[in-house]
Chain A
Amino acid sequence: MNGDLRTPLARARGLGSAKAGVAHWWAQRLTAIALIPLVVWFAISLVMLSGADYAMARAWIGSPRVMVLLILTIGVGLHHGQLGLQVVIEDYVHGDGRKLALIVIVKFIAAAFGLAAILAILRIGLGA
């Protein structure tokens, strides 16, 4: 075992002292990599839409390729955002109750706005 103080079972589980392993860290990196092309695409699109009116904005949002990319950008972006905010809250908000409450609120807001935005995009594109 050579200096490893963990039990064989703890070592096999690989969850560490925080009991969550590398799941959060890994999800943050995976979403970060996905967001590199998505954010570049979205930033260019946003600039190109400067001065676009209602009809132009809806035509853009509702085209099939844009719908897919927009849903990905909003879904992955909000997921990445709430993972990051969780770390900030864990670092700076002291007191377990307040910390947990804020993390839960952030996750709920991200889920609610994400779902609402995705439904809005589908309504525009599919005309429902």
Chain B
Amino acid sequence: MSVAPRPVTRPLSPHLQVYRPQLTSMLSILHRATGIALSVGAIYLATWMIYAAASPRAYAVFQGFNTSIAGRIVLGGWLFCAFYHLCNGIRHLFWDAGYGFELKDAYRSGWIVVAVSVIATAVSWIVGLRLI
């Protein structure tokens, strides 16, 4: 005689709702969020190449979006996601190698990542807007 297995109704981790927001957890969530955004951005980049190879008219449609306000925000946002994920990714690689696990170090490296990615994004925007 067999017993039908009961569906598992236990809550599954991660239990995000029981944590008080703190820098380290917010940066961890942001790493995943920017990673997802960059994956979509990689498809967008691939589309850029495909349109550039297709025809001047197809490219004009693509450029039309890029040069609109929405397009500028998407590209500028992509830059922030790239800089943040890059800097925090390097932070992760140091953790993988066994460095920087002390709470004090994790906070310090976290703030450095925030500062560098914000500054790099701001510089990119300023230089990019001057070139237009």
Q: Which residues of A contact B (CB under 8 A)?
A: 29, 32-33, 35-36, 39-40, 42-43, 46-48, 50-51, 53-54, 57-58, 61, 70, 74, 77-78, 81-82, 84-85, 88, 91, 94, 109-110, 113-114, 116-117, 119-121, 123-124
Known contacts A54-B56, A81-B42, A120-B52; is A29 also within 8 Å of B131 by CB? no
Which residues from chain B sit less than 8 Å from chain A, CB to CB?
A: 12, 14, 32, 35-36, 38-39, 42-43, 45-47, 49-50, 52-54, 56, 59-60, 63, 75, 79, 82-83, 86, 89-90, 92-93, 96, 120, 124, 127-129, 131-132
Structural contact, A51 and B132, CB atoms closer than 8 A = yes
Task: Specify which chain B residues have a CB less than 8 angstroms from the CB of A33 in the assembled complex.
Answer: 93
Supply 10 further A-B pairs (C-beta < 8 A) apart from A29-B96, A33-B93.
A43-B83, A47-B128, A54-B59, A54-B60, A74-B49, A81-B42, A82-B39, A84-B35, A117-B50, A120-B49
> Given contacts A47-B124, A50-B132, A84-B35, is CB(A114)–CB(B83) below 8 Å?
no
Task: Please give, as numbers and ranges, the residues of chain B lying within 8 Å of A43 by CB-CB distance.
Answer: 79, 82-83, 120, 124
What's the nearest-Cβ distance from chain A to residue B64, in Å?
12
- Roughly how many angstroms separate A105 CA and B5 CA in the complex, as a whole number? 29
- Are B129 and A50 closer than 8 Å at their CB atoms? yes
